[in-house]
Amino acid sequence: MKPKLYIVSTPIGNYEDITLRALRILKECDFIICEEFKEARRLLANYKIQKELFSLNEHTENEAANDLILKLLEGKSAALISDCGTPLFSDPGHLLVDLAIQNRIDVIPIPGVSSLLTALVGSGLNFEKFYYYGWLSPKKDIRRKQLLDLKKRKETIVLMDTPYRLKSLMEDIVKILGSNIPCVLAFELTKEKEKFYRGNTGNIFKIVEKENLKGEFVLILRNK
């Protein structure tokens, strides 16, 4: 059989947000490639799926990718999943996919949930054209320089970061971009505490500070 690498999107929080096709592939493939065993086992247990798991994350990808390609070249099929959402989107796996293409292994995306589109469609902002910047630098000086560069872009901008950096990110945004930029904080998407905070950068920063918000988020700015 011809080897196949499926790139399978999984829920970003609510386990009901998975496609029938994704479930079928996870059940039928020979093995599953995941970021972290703990997250993958929790996900698969919810769907009563048992599969051999192999880890591939930002620390192991260079070493693991070649071994996984050799397994696929035996005529196997594998599903690549991330801890949540769409693989490769701010997640490892790019080297594995590159090697699969070089070795003429079929790469088949199984579409599904993406935090980016979920945040945009719920934001209420115009996003016919938007600029996805993703993760700013954790280093304050570099981050502020990046924000100065973003200040020149007059469009909808999408940012992401870790939960514990939300407050410092908002503080820098207010300092560099100002407090009157239209802004939406998409917080804990698809989970019980999901909430869209809409307003401007100044009042959303005050909310983040007052409520000490910490959780998964996507931040959308509308530079004028």
Query: What is the tens place of the pLDDT at every residue in 81-92?
Result: 999 999 998 888
Phi, psi of 40 (to 5 degrees): -65, -45
Mean pLDDT over residues 195-215, rounded?
96
Among candidates 161, 146, 136, 133, which has minimal Cα distance to 217? 161
The DSSP call for residue 213 is -
Tell the residue number behind the tokens 């579409």, with chain if given: 111
pTM beyond cutoff 0.85: yes
Tokens encoding 194: 């999901």
Please give the biggest Cα pair distance in the chain: 58
Mean pLDDT over residues 213-224, rounded?
93
Q: Which class in CATH covers the domain with range 4-110?
A: alpha beta
125 vs 75: CA distance, rounded Å: 46
* pLDDT level of residue 149 (50, 70, 90 thresholds): very high
Question: Assign residue 172 a region: left if phi > 0, alpha if psi is -120 to 50, beta otherwise?
Answer: alpha
95 vs 47: CA distance, rounded Å: 29
200 vs 104: CA distance, rounded Å: 49
Tokens encoding 119: 């945040």
Cα distances (angstroms) measured from residue 222 to each of 63, 124, 133, 139, 144: 41, 11, 13, 24, 18
CATH 3.30.950.10 residue spans of the chain: 115-222
Q: What is the per-residue pLDDT for 136?
A: 94
Q: What is the per-residue pLDDT for 1?
A: 81
Cα distances (angstroms) measured from residue 180 to each of 7, 105, 199, 223: 40, 50, 9, 10
Cα distances (angstroms) measured from residue 194 to each of 153, 189, 212: 29, 5, 15
* pLDDT level of residue 58 (50, 70, 90 thresholds): confident
Mean pLDDT over residues 89-97, rounded?
91
Q: Which class in CATH covers the domain with range 115-222?
A: alpha beta
What pLDDT digit, counting tens, does each position of 60-77 carry? 888 899 999 999 999 999
Tokens encoding 34: 């995941």
Return mean pLDDT, the chain: 95
**For the chain, what percent of residues have pLDDT higher than 70?**
100
CATH 3.40.1010.10 residue spans of the chain: 4-110
Q: Is the pLDDT of residue 224 over 80?
A: no
205 vs 183: CA distance, rounded Å: 10
**For the chain, what percent of residues have pLDDT higher than 90?**
92
Tokens encoding 201: 């950068």
Burial per residue of 154-176, b for 16 or more beta-carbon CB atoms within 10 angstroms, e otherwise: eebbbbbbeeebbeebbebbbeb
* pLDDT level of residue 30 (50, 70, 90 thresholds): very high
